[in-house]
Amino acid sequence: RGDGYGSRGALIVLEGLDRSGKSSQCRMLLSYLEGLGHSAELWRFPDRSTSVGKMINEYLSDKSQLDDHTIHLLFSANRWEKRSLMETKLKMGTTLIIDRYSYSGVVFSSAKGLDFEWCKTPEIGLLAPDLVVYLDILPEKAAERAGYGGERYEQLEFQKKVSQCYKLLSDFSWEIIDACQSMEDVGKQIKEIVLDQVMACKKGKPLSNLWP
Instruction: Note the residues at the interface with ligand TMP (CB under 6 A).
Output: 18, 45-46, 60, 75, 100, 104-105, 108, 151, 153
CB distance 171 to 43 below 8 Å:
no
81 vs 186: CA distance, rounded Å = 31
| Cβ 33 to ligand TMP shortest distance, Å | 21
The secondary structure of 37-84 as a DSSP string is T--EEEEESS-TTSHHHHHHHHHHTTSS---HHHHHHHHHHHHHHHHH
Residue closer to ligand TMP, measured from CB, 16 or 198: 16
Closer by beta carbon to ligand TMP, 123 or else 130: 123
Shorter beta-carbon distance to ligand TMP: residue 137 or 198: 137
User: Pick from 174, 183, 138: which is nearest to 18 by CA?
Assistant: 138
State the nearest-atom distance from the C-beta of 175 to ligand TMP, in Å. 19
Residues 6+ apart with CB under 8 A from 191: 29, 32
Task: Give how many residues touch Mg ion by CB under 5 A.
Answer: 1
The option from Mg ion, ligand TMP, none interacting with 59 (CB < 5 to 8 A, set by class) reads: none
Residue 105's binding partner out of ligand TMP, Mg ion, none, with CB under 5 to 8 Å set by partner kind: ligand TMP
Which among Mg ion, ligand TMP, none contacts residue 108 (Cβ within 5 to 8 A by kind)? ligand TMP
In the list 11, 13, 15, 18, the residue contacting Mg ion (rule: CB under 5 A) is 18
How would you class 106 by CB atoms within 10 Å of its CB: exposed for 0-12, middle for 13-18, buried for 19 or more? buried
Helix residue ranges, H only, the chain: 22-35, 51-60, 68-91, 102-110, 116-120, 139-143, 156-169, 183-202
In 3D, which of 207, 212, 209 has the Cα closest to residue 94?
207
- 99 sits near Mg ion (criterion: CB under 5 A): no
When the beta carbons of 8 and 79 are compared against ligand TMP, the nearer one is: 79
* Cα distances (Å, whole numbers) of residue 85 to 20, 38, 80, 88: 28, 19, 10, 5
Could you tell me which residues are beta bridge partners of residue 194?
none
Closer Cβ to ligand TMP, 21 or 38, answer by number? 21
Of the two residues 32 and 75, which places its CB atom closer to ligand TMP in the complex?
A: 75
CB of 14 to Mg ion, least distance (A): 13
Shortest Å, Cβ 161 to Mg ion: 16
Residue range at the interface with Mg ion (CB under 5 A); choices 16-24, 28-36, 62-70, 160-168: 16-24
